[in-house]
Amino acid sequence: MMQWLRLMELINRMIKPKIADGFRFQWEEAQKNYVLLYPEGMIKLNHSAGEILFFCDGKKSIEEITAILENKFSVQGLLSQVQEFLDYALDKGWVCESYDD
């Protein structure tokens, strides 16, 4: 069972998240914030969510996104927080999984 959990953890880290079809991620000057636009409305993102989604281009893995953020903010140990947010965003349909190179 432990090997299965380790394998799933590795697979999750290799996922390259991207903004899901039907959503557009952008800086909204009027809101002074990053937002996700979709046909029915807009989701105003907090600072952390905006920073994470900024790098969700389908080319960077979750580990790569985490490393970029840790370097940008001079902190360590963000992987679990980044993963937790991306799990939430995936559940909401804001991002989708990509395994492409």
Q: 101 lies in a domain?
A: no
CA-CA distance, 99 to 60, in Å (whole number)? Answer: 10
Q: What's the CATH code of the domain at 65?
A: 3.90.930.60
- Overall domain count for the chain: 1
What pLDDT, in 10s, does the model give residues 21-69? 999 999 999 889 999 999 999 999 999 999 999 999 999 999 999 999 9
* Tokens encoding 87: 């799990």
pLDDT of residue 15: 84
| Buried b or exposed e, range 39-54, using 16+ CB within 10 angstroms | eeeeeebeeebbbbbe
What is the Cα 16 distance to its own chain's centre? 9
Q: 73 lies in a domain?
A: yes
